[in-house]
Amino acid sequence: MALTFSAFAQQALVNSGPVVSPEINADGTVTFRYLSVKAESVQVSGDFLPNQKIQTPAGEYEIPGVADMKKVDNGLWQYTTPEAVEPEFYNYFFVVDGNRELDLNNVFVNRDVATLTSVLLVPGPNVDATNDSGYLTPGKVKADLYAIQDVPHGTVSKVWYHSDVAGFDRRMTIYTPAEYDGVKRFPVVYILHGMGGDEDAWVTQGRATQILDNLIAKGLAEPMIAVFPNGNISQEAAPLENATNYDRPTMSLPNTMDGKFETSFPEIINFVDSHYQTLADKHHRAVCGLSMGGFHTLYLTINYPDTFDYSGMFSSAIGNFADLSVSDLYSDLDGKLATYYSKNPALLWVGCGSSDFLYEQNKEFRETLDKGKYPYTYVETSGGHIWKNWRIYLSDFLPLLFK
């Protein structure tokens, strides 16, 4: 009886039944709602709003904008976007009397390191994502790839392997395409996360498996196996999936950029090649990564020049985020680039946002490539160090592989 009375009381409070938030309206606008009779101020903040710029000791950052919500009924606060929201995968939260809160009427939540946000997926094709030839336009949002479509779906597995370098078992996520039958062999792409991330990051925030499913189904990418390792060599697996249990996720983990992860990477490749039907050669192997994962991609690429024919660096932390003197793997960039390019790699791909705090580092790296007259592909997008850009880069990179 008490539960029934509580449910009816909540409905009577707003005179409109259960609260729906977010709601994508027929005209493409989106309405957010928050229920509280005690709140004096409610705002919504998310990356569907124009960004704000803030200055930090590490440089200038862009953060999601903020919009005031209006009290429209007894305890019901509401905000409707003034214009239709472009198709994209968004994160948002409420600020209630100065305190950050999730949208409790939305069960879909993302974790980025130790921060939780509510999720809004606006499906649909983006008008500028396809050029006149029918191919996907580089550097543009491709939100129809981020949604679940009526296409054959691959399989996503959480796989444990033993690492002698780490000294314990570690976990990675592996995607096998819909065509995978244990007989036919497939090329492999290794996709690396950023600092504070883990083997779940690209799957949950990056929508990588949806992107793979949809690109493959459209015939825009070759069917491939995708491997998402945990780039924190001191960690067994994602938080609450390892022996540390309730340790709070953090970006301050040991051994992240000291050469140990690069040293251990052949263990990952050997495990994948011995347990899956792979085409186990350089021409059928790719690696890419964002931020710290871009750093790892660079040094995996040039230290193992006979291993990867395709490499993608997304908003890469190339310079001042690591002491390059800690490992010989990080020494002699010019010499190792020369050796790498002498092997005639198929593709080195670089992407960065125009307002990314790592933009200058990436510019200097491109100047190094230009000085050596080394070929590469570069895509520049608007915005900063954000998942919106990394989903674009992955969507642009994958169709170029294994051709």
Are residues 208 and 100 located together in one domain of the fold? no
Spell out a b/e string for 174-203, using b for 16 or more CB atoms within 10 Å of the CB, else e: bbbbeebeeeeebbbbbbbbbbbbbbbbbb
Does some domain include residue 23? Answer: yes
For range 241-254, the mean pLDDT: 70
Are residues 171 and 246 located together in one domain of the fold? yes
Domain end, chosen from 90, 122, 154, is at 122
Are residues 115 and 149 located together in one domain of the fold? no
Are residues 147 and 117 located together in one domain of the fold? no
Locate the DSSP E strands across 201-280: 225-228
- What is the number of structural domains in the chain? 2
Can you give the pLDDT at residue 13? 43
Are residues 60 and 173 located together in one domain of the fold? no
**Residue pair 168/236 in contact by the 8 Å Cβ criterion:** yes
Are residues 102 and 159 located together in one domain of the fold? no
Are residues 94 and 241 located together in one domain of the fold? no
Can you give the pLDDT at residue 391? 96
Can you give the pLDDT at residue 323? 80
pLDDT tens-digit map of 255-273: 788 899 999 999 999 999 9
pLDDT tens-digit map of 86-140: 999 999 999 999 999 999 999 999 988 888 999 999 988 887 887 766 678 899 9
CATH number, domain at 324? 3.40.50.1820
**pLDDT band with cut points at 50, 70 and 90 for residue 177:** very high
Stretch (H or E) spanning 98: none
**Residue pair 38/63 in contact by the 8 Å Cβ criterion:** no
Residue 347 belongs to what domain range?
Answer: 143-400
* Separation CA 224–CA 310 (nearest Å): 13
pLDDT tens-digit map of 354-363: 999 999 999 9
Domain end, chosen from 122, 157, 178, is at 122
Are residues 110 and 230 located together in one domain of the fold? no
Does some domain include residue 82? Answer: yes
Are residues 205 and 308 located together in one domain of the fold? yes
Are residues 102 and 147 located together in one domain of the fold? no
> Residue 9 above 50 pLDDT?
no
For range 367-385, the mean pLDDT: 96
Does some domain include residue 372? Answer: yes
Can you give the pLDDT at residue 6? 44
Domain end, chosen from 63, 92, 122, is at 122
* Separation CA 139–CA 134 (nearest Å): 15
Can you give the pLDDT at residue 254? 66
Stretch (H or E) spanning 13: helix 2-14
